[in-house]
Amino acid sequence: MKIGFYPKLAAGNIKKNKRTYVPYMLTCILTIAMFYIFKSLSMNPGLDQMVGGEYLSFMMMLGSVIIGLFALIFLFYTNSFLIKRRKKEFGVFNILGMEKRHLVLVLGWETVYVMLVSLAAGLGVGIAMDKAMFLLIGKIIGTKAVFGFFISPKVIAMTAELFAGIFLLIFLNSACQVHIANPVELLRAGSAGEKEPRTRWLMALLGVICVAGGYYIAITTENPLASIFAFFIAALLVILGTYLLFMAGSIAFLKLLRKNKNYYYQTRHFTSVSGMIYRMKQNAAGLSNICILSTMVLIMVSSTSSMMLGMNDILSTRYPSELMVYSNETDEKRNQEVFDTVRALQNEWEFSVKNEIQYTYLAFSAFRDGDTFFLDRAASITAIDDSYALFFMTLEDYNQAEGQQKTLKDDEILLYSNRTSYEEPVMKLFGKEYRVAEKLDHFMGNGIVASNMSSAQYIVMPDRKEIEEICEKQKNVYKDMSTQIRTFYGFDSDEEAGQQIQFYREMVNTLKSQGLDTMVESRADARTDFVGIYGGFFFIGIFLGTLFVMATVLIIYYKQISEGYDDRERFVIMQKVGMDLREVRASIRSQVLNVFFLPLVVAGVHVTAAFPLISRLLALLNFVNTRLYVACTVVSFFVFTVMYIVIYAVTARVYYRIVSK
């Protein structure tokens, strides 16, 4: 054959199959552009000049890794649709005398064309949008970005290498499928029918058990630290259960519809239900993928947007006072010197001070088993995998700080639980039993305890002597890892943020110069890092959510095209025996509606079940505004539903055009 025959044939094949190739190439272009943007942002030197730049750089790098893995899996998945539709064409070429090595050459040229166009367009879009995304990050975190393009040859090379490798693997996979199939199999591959699948009740039951197990973990896990591990276990169970339910449960559902004679023996339902039963085995994977991706989009967008919108709440939880001083000095004289120094600075700077609060406290970690707390995990025979932060303060300090006049007996305590509730009537510690006289519904904040990922139990003791005894006992257990009684002093100010930051730095330098053992925190100073961290989360959440939505759209599109070609001959036959176009349209609508919105409904159920677990994970990041999270989840679901309906309208029209030809 002449030189250039295969490249021309490959180009012609892509042009003739543009209905399937164009969406695939658009997906490749957008995926390449997103990878380039995230990778470029992670290496952009301008990011270092932004507040929280080191956190943003790490998150952009993490986002590029996620997109790279997603591209590898998803482009393989979408390419399988292309190969299915092309196998019949390859079978014809094979019968006409073209050897399989020639078919592989054609596939190779097609892959090269797709790769070159996708890389050129993807890198072009990525470079063009890179600066816009950099400015967007600056807008999100409230920092002015420097104008001017940052184009990194290294990032371009890394992007080209990654996607060239992915396209090479896709080509090898496609070549293997063509090589191992005989001409007859290739001819029948695109239109081979399915046997009626059996109703696999055991698989359906296993799916129900997996989903129920995931829901149970999500709803019942209370300890925030355990929530991290529980999230992955619950997610794996729900994903596995979703696949099993769509594969077995959907077939059972359709067969139940077929048994309902009043429903089944209608023109618009008869052909749709019978057709879907035979194809549900191949549809199940697509439907479950749509469901899982929809769930990921909803959780990702709702959680990251709620954290970004709730930034002030997060900061107020982590930093209950605008300026805070923690004294580690054990000598009473030096301890008093710490706060005398701070107050002298307040007077010197004429710094406005309000909402002052000061108290001594003791905090250390312990493990809980029922109503007993242990400092040595091995000391508990039945210890639950729960770590707690125990926070002790005196009744006198509590009453003074909260403006209360509560009283306690020697063996009584007041108790407040911040994340995991404590329902026992007594609390046992170091062999002594304390009766819970009252469970408080509010407690003054402490940034150190709030930053601890463990649940905390705030315990108000009758006097300081009891706390000192507990302190000595925990020192005997923890040795050099033990804590000591500290003094906290917090206050707010009417000064603007910049002035507060300057005063905070002056406090740090002055206390350090005097050799005083302290730690100082400022809400205004911390805001920059927090905005960088949560702004990065929000940016990644929106972009990955967009990527997953794109993937969902493409799966739905290819699913409709694939089914359209499969159903075209059936509907032609049905029209020949008397079904008119109106009835064809009604049957199509019934077929699409029966299963199209099922993934969305199931995704909504998944998000609802995951809500308690996600809320506890957000609590680890100091986000406790549940109402805001609910609002963001509802809005996200509403917007996604509208998008889903639009996708339905578009793909149903494509499906109808295919089957009505």
Instruction: Decide the pairing of beta strands 432-439 and 412-417.
Output: parallel
What is the share, in percent, of the chain residues with pLDDT greater than 70? Answer: 75
Q: Which amino acid is at 227?
A: S
Range in 76-85, 267-276, 471-480 with the lowest mean pLDDT: 267-276
**Cα(521)–Cα(508) distance, integer angstroms:** 9
Q: pLDDT band for position 380 (50/70/90)? A: very low
More confident residue, 123 or 228: 123
**Cα(508)–Cα(341) distance, integer angstroms:** 11
Question: Is 418:458 a contact under the CB 8 Å cutoff?
Answer: yes
**Cα(319)–Cα(445) distance, integer angstroms:** 8
Q: pLDDT band for position 383 (50/70/90)? A: very low
Question: Is 559:311 a contact under the CB 8 Å cutoff?
Answer: no
Q: How many CB atoms lie within 10 A of CB 153?
A: 7
Q: How many CB atoms lie within 10 A of CB 558?
A: 22
Question: Is 83:557 a contact under the CB 8 Å cutoff?
Answer: no
Q: Which amino acid is at 599?
A: P
Say what the pLDDT of residue 606 is.
93
* Residue closest to 500 by CA, chosen among 324, 331, 649, 627: 324
Rounded average pLDDT over 500-523: 92
CA distances 562 to 173, 358, 596, Å, are 20, 69, 14
pLDDT tens sequence across 144-202: 555 455 677 888 899 999 999 988 988 888 778 777 666 555 555 545 445 555 667 78
**Cα(186)–Cα(312) distance, integer angstroms:** 61
pLDDT tens sequence across 612-621: 888 888 887 7
Q: Is the pLDDT of residue 522 over 70?
A: yes
Instruction: Decide the pairing of beta strands 518-522 and 323-327.
Output: antiparallel
Written as six digits, the tokens of 56 are: 């943003």
Say what the pLDDT of residue 177 is.
73
Q: pLDDT band for position 291 (50/70/90)? A: confident
Q: Is the dihedral of CA 360, 366, 368, 374 positive or negative?
A: negative
More confident residue, 413 or 48: 413
User: H/E element holding 206?
Assistant: helix 201-220
Q: Which amino acid is at 2?
A: K
Written as six digits, the tokens of 608 are: 């609802």
* Residue closest to 356 by CA, chosen among 339, 371, 370: 339
User: H/E element holding 456?
Assistant: strand 455-461
**Cα(156)–Cα(152) distance, integer angstroms:** 6
Q: Is 455 helix (H, G, I), strand (E, B) or coil?
A: strand
**Cα(559)–Cα(574) distance, integer angstroms:** 22
**Cα(509)–Cα(531) distance, integer angstroms:** 25
Q: How many CB atoms lie within 10 A of CB 182?
A: 10
Say what the pLDDT of residue 338 is.
92
* Residue closest to 391 by CA, chosen among 419, 416, 358: 416
Buried b (16+ CB within 10 A) or exposed e, 274-286: bbbbbbbbebbbb
Q: Is the pLDDT of residue 20 over 60?
A: yes
Output the average pLDDT for the chain: 79
Q: Where are the beta strands (DSSP E) in 467-551?
A: 486-492, 518-522
Q: pLDDT band for position 384 (50/70/90)? A: very low
CB proximity list for 556: less than 8 A, separation 6 or greater: 286, 290, 596, 647, 651
Question: Is 199:251 a contact under the CB 8 Å cutoff?
Answer: yes
What is the share, in percent, of the chain residues with pLDDT greater than 90? Answer: 17
* Residue closest to 467 by CA, chosen among 391, 519, 398, 401: 391
Under DSSP, the state recorded for 246 is I
CB proximity list for 32: less than 8 A, separation 6 or greater: 71, 118, 119, 121, 122, 123, 125, 126, 159, 163
Q: Which burial class, exposed, middle or buried, applies to 266 when counting CB atoms under 10 A from its CB (0-12, 13-18, 19+)?
A: middle
Question: Is 462:430 a contact under the CB 8 Å cutoff?
Answer: no
Q: Is the pLDDT of residue 312 over 70?
A: yes
